[in-house]
Amino acid sequence: MLYPGFPSVQYSIWKHIACNKLQLTEEIAWMYFEQYHMVAGELSASERLEMFHLSSQSDRSSTKQKMKADTLQFVLFLYIQQLHKISIKSSLVTGDEWPSRTRSPDLESARTATSGKNLDENSHFTFVMHHLNDLMELIIDPAGSALTDANASIEAIRALGFVIAASIDGNRTLTPLEKVAMHPSVAPHSGYNKDSQTFLFKALHSWFRSNLTQSPFGISSCIGNGKRLSWLPIDTTTATKRVKSAPNGHLVSREFVKGNKIIIMTQVGKQMVARSSGTLEQAYIKIHRCQYSYFYLLSPLRSVSIEKCKNITVVLGPVEVAIMISGCENITVIAPCGRIVIGNSSLCTLNLLTPCRPLLLPGCEAISLGPYNTFYPKLEDHMKKVMIPATINLWDQPVMAGHDTHGESSSTWFLLPPTDFAQFIIPFEMEGKTTSIPFPLPSAYKKALDVKNKEYKQWLKSVNESTQDVEKKQSFQALVEQQFQEWLAETGHKKEIDAIVQHIDGKFKFDSKR
């Protein structure tokens, strides 16, 4: 039975269900509601900005209580969260570790049928096929009749398009699911009745089962049919393999790029990858099994996942939906993003500009949270493209999901001490108007940065005043240079500097070409 307000559900109703029936906390209830809107992409720029402002407000806010979501799509969004459901009982029986660690096979071996079974799109396809009946039941009101005799409305099929995409021309273009189901050549099979404008459940269910396939824009397709990027990664050692990367942008038509364009970078070791181009724009970036490398991906992105990486630094352009970090150790991520989610990771530093509270999943240890600490000339233009505001930053208010919040928070995460805060300089030139970090730094961090800048200027002044003699000045400069080179070698930064120098020498340039 549908409740008042259908086809939309207010946050107040969802919060009542989540907190009183499902025993979720208010912050987790809001996180689900907020994340649905970020994934669905149905809000205008002004509505999205208003939602982000509500994130920092009390749940008693009347505006927040009245915020709405499409009921059927939101129900489907909640249901598909079971995709990665963890069973403690089954873990005890099988002896598997709990919480389970994210499965992430060698992507290069995904060309084989066996290993491909572990890829995301196969898991998604299997889940939908196994739960198709439940998914359809959720959006169909049987009105007292047997389910097999029930009818589905056009609105219900449109909602199902949140989970299932459709095409009638061999995946060259995507067409709304309800339009495909109503197409004259398909209607006899989908059970569509033009007079009642409804679909017979039994026929529709059979049509789905006969025609559902894996996403043609998924990771396995990207690896199998994607083109090797022509980018020139800068090796920091002659023994390093060339970066393994593959995009599928040429497979996706421009009007359907959002959410379907994928770029994979896997097994990158001791290299620098730096780019700002149309190839990256609105792409899902997957950084997988990389180590001792530096990534500068300075374009507006759709989403990013970083899996099983060690000792890497990732500097990202604004990420519209979310950054997912899993199974990583000793990595640094600097990014403006809609949300960041991290699990099963340790010794990670996150410098963030985010309007949503960071989500910390089980398995995290020693996660350092700091404010966003860099900029590049096109940053503000890119932030506008993906609707990330510069007026809200909840970097220091993480939500811990699935934790014993009373006993684990001190070992799970901490705020970066202001004395350890430093501005990160992006060492590449490009055109643009941004000349500083767009979000005001918290006072403690600004003060610490001002102190460091003042000390540096004072040191520089003292050096200039005390080394008037030319020979002494040259000798002093040589000593400083020697100690600096020793420090670079000891810390491992020399390889990064060498790679940057090669970029500056003209072996790489930022451009806007696809």
93 pLDDT above the threshold of 80: no
Say yes or no: 403 and 377 in one domain.
Answer: yes
Mean of the pLDDT values across residues 168-185? Answer: 87
Please state, rounded to an integer, the average pLDDT across all residues of the chain.
81
- Within a domain: 123: no
Residue 337, class by beta-carbon neighbours within 10 Å (0-12 exposed, 13-18 middle, 19+ buried)?
A: buried
pLDDT at 377: 95
Residues 243-297 pLDDT 10s:
455 554 444 445 454 657 888 888 889 888 989 988 899 999 999 999 999 999 9
pLDDT at 60: 60
Of the three residues 211, 230, 257, the one that is the final residue of a domain is 211
pLDDT at 247: 52
What percent of the chain is predicted at pLDDT more than 70?
76
CA distances from 465 to 87, 367, 459, 468, 470 (A): 69, 43, 10, 6, 12
Say yes or no: 297 and 278 in one domain.
Answer: yes
16 pLDDT above the threshold of 80: yes
Of the three residues 191, 211, 231, the one that is the final residue of a domain is 211
Reply yes or no: is the peptide bond before residue 99 cis, omega within 30 of 0.
yes
Separation between Cα atoms, residue 382 and residue 255, nearest integer Å = 19
Mean of the pLDDT values across residues 210-220? Answer: 81
Residues 103-122 pLDDT 10s:
444 554 444 443 445 567 78
- Within a domain: 480: yes
pLDDT at 90: 47
pLDDT class of 491 with cuts at 50, 70, 90 = confident
pLDDT at 322: 95
Separation between Cα atoms, residue 151 and residue 106, nearest integer Å = 44
Sign of CA dihedral 174, 177, 182, 188: positive
- Within a domain: 97: no
Residue burial 238-264, b: 16+ Cβ < 10 Å; e: rest: eebeebbbbbbbebbeeebebbbbbbb
pLDDT at 237: 47
pLDDT class of 434 with cuts at 50, 70, 90 = very high
pLDDT class of 492 with cuts at 50, 70, 90 = confident
Say what the alpha-carbon torsion angle 431, 432, 438, 441 is, to the nearest 10 degrees.
30
pLDDT at 240: 45
pLDDT at 100: 45
Separation between Cα atoms, residue 360 and residue 83, nearest integer Å = 19
What percent of the chain is predicted at pLDDT more than 90?
49
419 pLDDT above the threshold of 60: yes
pLDDT at 107: 53
299 pLDDT above the threshold of 50: yes
Say yes or no: 18 and 163 in one domain.
Answer: no
Q: What type of residue is 332? A: T
pLDDT at 406: 52
Say yes or no: 363 and 475 in one domain.
Answer: no
For residue 319, which of 124, 77, 38 has the smallest C-alpha distance? 38
Say yes or no: 271 and 199 in one domain.
Answer: no
Least confident of 89-93, 118-122, 222-226, 421-425: 89-93
CATH of the domain at 404: 2.160.20.70
User: Which of helix, strand or coil describes residue 259?
Assistant: coil
Say yes or no: 432 and 322 in one domain.
Answer: yes
* Sequence-ordered alpha helix ranges (H) in 174-218: 177-182, 187-190, 201-211
pLDDT at 258: 61
Quote the domain boundaries for residue 171.
141-211
- For Cα atoms 9, 12, 15, give the angle at the middle one, nearest 5 degrees: 100
75 pLDDT above the threshold of 70: yes
Residues 27-57 pLDDT 10s:
999 999 999 998 888 788 888 888 888 876 6
Residues 304-358 pLDDT 10s:
999 999 999 999 999 999 999 999 999 999 999 999 999 999 999 999 999 999 9
Residues 373-416 pLDDT 10s:
999 999 999 999 999 999 999 999 999 987 555 555 668 999 99
Residues 450-471 pLDDT 10s:
999 899 888 888 777 766 677 7
pLDDT at 171: 74
E-strand ranges in 420-462 read none
The sheet carrying 303-307 orders its strands as: 244-247, 262-266, 284-288, 303-307, 323-326, 340-343, 359-360, 399-400
Say yes or no: 235 and 149 in one domain.
Answer: no
Say yes or no: 275 and 147 in one domain.
Answer: no
Say yes or no: 198 and 227 in one domain.
Answer: no
Antiparallel, parallel or unpaired: β 234-235 and 271-275? antiparallel
Say yes or no: 235 and 282 in one domain.
Answer: yes
Separation between Cα atoms, residue 229 and residue 216, nearest integer Å = 20
CA distances from 189 to 70, 123, 177, 279, 404 (A): 28, 27, 14, 39, 51
pLDDT at 443: 95
Antiparallel, parallel or unpaired: β 234-235 and 8-10? unpaired
Of the three residues 182, 211, 240, the one that is the final residue of a domain is 211
User: For residue 30, what are the contacts with CB-CB under 8 A and spacing of at least 6?
Assistant: 11, 15, 55, 59, 64
Domains held by the chain: number:
4
